[in-house]
Each structure stands twice: as C-alpha cells, then as structure tokens.
Structure 1
Amino acid sequence: MTSTNQATQPRLLRWKDVQPRVGICRSQAHAMIQEGTFPAPVKLGARASAWVESEINDWIDSRISASRKKAGGVA
C-alpha cells in the first residue's frame, strides 16, 4: 500500500483512543449521539464499536469553530 492510499484510508478508533481526544465520558458521548451532536460509532461486532477518525476530527474542529464564534461575538 502506498502512502497516498494510506492517507485516504479511513481509520477506526476505539473509545480508549477517542476519549482523550474529545474529553467527555462515554455516557455523555452516547447521549450526544442520541441528540445527533456527536458522531455515531461503527459496529465492529456484537460488543465492539469504533469511531471514524475523520468524523471525530471534524467534530473537534466544529467545536473549536463554534467556541471561537461565540468568543468573537461577545467581545
């Protein structure tokens, strides 16, 4: 596999890798998934789920953007 193909391949992250990136607990994440405000996981099996890394990164970016807009509007 070339480095170009590796860059375009989706990467799946387990919760232990997602949680430190997003800083919320699992129960909060699941509540936000139900609200449609957090990316839903991909089922890997009966008891295993993972999140698409690019979706997590996009969610983080959207939170940063929303925070900056609020901070900019207040000042």
Structure 2
Amino acid sequence: MRRIETLFELCRLFPRLVVFILFGMFHNNPRTCDMATSSEQNQDRFQRRPAVEAMTGLSRSSIYSKMDPRSPQHDPEFPKPVRLGKRAVAWRESDILAWMNGRQSTAA
C-alpha cells in the first residue's frame, strides 16, 4: 500500500473527501456541527407566505384580510410583513409565534 505524504497528494487522490471535510468544518448548521453560537441560535428568521400559511393554518386571502383595516376580518394584532425587496415580503418568525401564542383557544 502506497503512503500519502503530502496534503496536495491527498487532495488530488480524494477530492470528494476533502470537500466533505471542509464543508463540515465551515458550514454553520447546528444539526451537522456544534459550531453555532448561542447568538446564532437566537436569531430571528424571516418566513415567506407559504411558511406563514403552514404555521398559522390560514389561507393567503385570510392572511391579507387580517392585515387589511377595511376588512371585516381585520386583526390589528396580526404581524406586519417586512419588505425584503421590490416584490418580496416576509414575516418575522418570532412575531408570528407571539401572535399565535396570544390567541385564545376557541375550542371547548
């Protein structure tokens, strides 16, 4: 069996292994490595409309009705979206969760 003596030779012989090792070292995914700090874990995430629909169980029209002051379904407590670009908005995950936790259960 031949002995690998240099890092360059290792990279040449096993390029996928090197990429896998580097990806694991520098990728900040808490599921794959413990490099994430507590401040990274506490960061607020933006959720796009399909995710908000899934979290709340509301349809697209219901979400926008809750935000429209002229609508009979208007809910002033419902979180406002944050503009991400010209045609893109998202909601803060913490705002959605706070709104959901603040709702009283209507189930008897």
| TM-score under structure 2 length normalisation | 0.55
Equivalent residue number for residue 67 of structure 1:
105
In structure 2, distance between residues paired with 1:37 and 1:25: 17
Equivalent residue number for residue 31 of structure 1:
65
Q: Alpha carbon RMSD of aligned pairs, Å?
A: 2.0
Letter in 1 for 2:45: R
In structure 2, distance between residues paired with 1:23 and 1:43: 22
In structure 1, distance between residues paired with 2:61 and 2:37: 36
| TM-score under structure 1 length normalisation | 0.76
Percentage of identical aligned residues = 35
Q: Unpaired runs of 5+ in structure 2?
A: 1-27, 29-35, 69-73
Equivalent residue number for residue 48 of structure 2:
14
Equivalent residue number for residue 45 of structure 1:
85
Q: Unpaired runs of 5+ in structure 1?
A: none
1:37 CA drift (Å): 3.2
SS of residue paired to 1:67: coil
1:23 CA drift (Å): 0.6
Larger helix share, 1 or 2: 1
1:30 CA drift (Å): 1.1
* Structure 1 stretches of at least 4 aligned residues deviating more than 4 Å after TM superposition: none
Number of aligned residues: 68
1:57 CA drift (Å): 0.6
Structure index of larger Rg: 2
Structure possessing the higher relative contact order (Cα contacts under 8 Å, 6 or more residues apart) = 1
Which segment drifts farther, 50-59 or 32-41?
32-41
